[in-house]
Amino acid sequence: MAIRKIREYGDEVLEAVCRPVTKMTPHTRELIEDMFDTMYDANGVGLAAPQVGVLRRICVIDVTGEDPYVLINPRIVETSGEQTGNEGCLSVPNKTGVVTRPSYVKVIAQNIDMEEFELEGTELLARAICHETDHLDGIVYVTKVEGELHDVRALEMEEEEDQEEEE
Ligand code: ZN
């Protein structure tokens, strides 16, 4: 298990377009294992390779904590609907902002054996697929935020205060 350093917004590696993966190597397998370790360690639901400084088209997603996916060379081939809600990113710590995404996404990607598969997602999984594939094109969600970024801690404190008032 190896935790890699997560690059933060402002680092130019997050604005670069990533190159496709052409074949699986021990080096790339290790990268993918480390990406899962790094994502779980940071309590994230997704992580893209550029977030650990590697410009390859790979992302890992697990929105439930027990349904891990690695998407290699993912291509979104179908979207529908719309959802508007708060989004966050491990590269933008302690911040959240409102982003509108499709409510349904179909993606074609390759798995760790470089076999093509199709994944459909709704709700949080659809949002995560969009967010992570954006990273592979150098797009960080803050450029899509409607209104301002908010401090997560401030929001949590407000919620706690609201609860106290209710009691
Ligand atoms: Zn992100």
Overall pTM surpassing 0.75 (yes/no): yes
DSSP state of 43: T
pLDDT of residue 24: 98
- Count structural domains, the chain: 1
Q: Cα of 24 to ligand 1 centre, how many Å?
A: 24
Instruction: Give me ligand 1 centre to Cα 162, in Å.
Output: 29
Q: What is the amino acid identity at position 8?
A: E
Q: Does any domain span residue 86?
A: yes
Which pLDDT score is estimated for 153? 78
Q: Is 18 inside any structural domain?
A: yes
Tell me, yes or no, whether 104 lies in a domain: yes
Does residue 23 form part of some domain? yes
Distance CA 61, CA 65 (A): 9
Instruction: Calculate how far, in angstroms, residue 161's C-alpha sits from the geometric centre of ligand 1.
Output: 29
User: How many whole angstroms from 74 Cα to the centroid of ligand 1?
Assistant: 15
SS3 9: coil
Whether residue 4 is contained in a domain is answered as: no
Decide if 160 is inside a domain. Answer: yes
- Residues of the chain scoring pLDDT < 50: none
CATH number at residue 39: 3.90.45.10
For residues 36-75, b (16+ Cβ closer than 10 Å) or e, as one string? bbbbbeeebbbbbbbbbebebbbbbbbbeeeeebbbbbbe
Closest CA to 44 of 4, 79, 82: 4
Instruction: Choose, from 12, 15, 123, 132, the residue flagged as catalytic.
Output: 132
Tell me, in angstroms, the distance from the centre of ligand 1 to residue 139's CA: 9
First to last CA, the chain: 44
Tell me the sheet residues that pair with 97: 87
Domain, as residue range, for 59: 12-166
The answer for 110, left when phi > 0, alpha when psi is -120 to 50, beta otherwise, is: beta
Phi-psi region of 45 (alpha: psi -120 to 50; beta: other; left: phi over 0): alpha
Q: Is residue 129 part of a domain?
A: yes
Q: Is 115 assigned a catalytic role?
A: no
Which residues lie at CB < 5 A from ion ligand 1? 89
Residue 77 included in any domain: yes
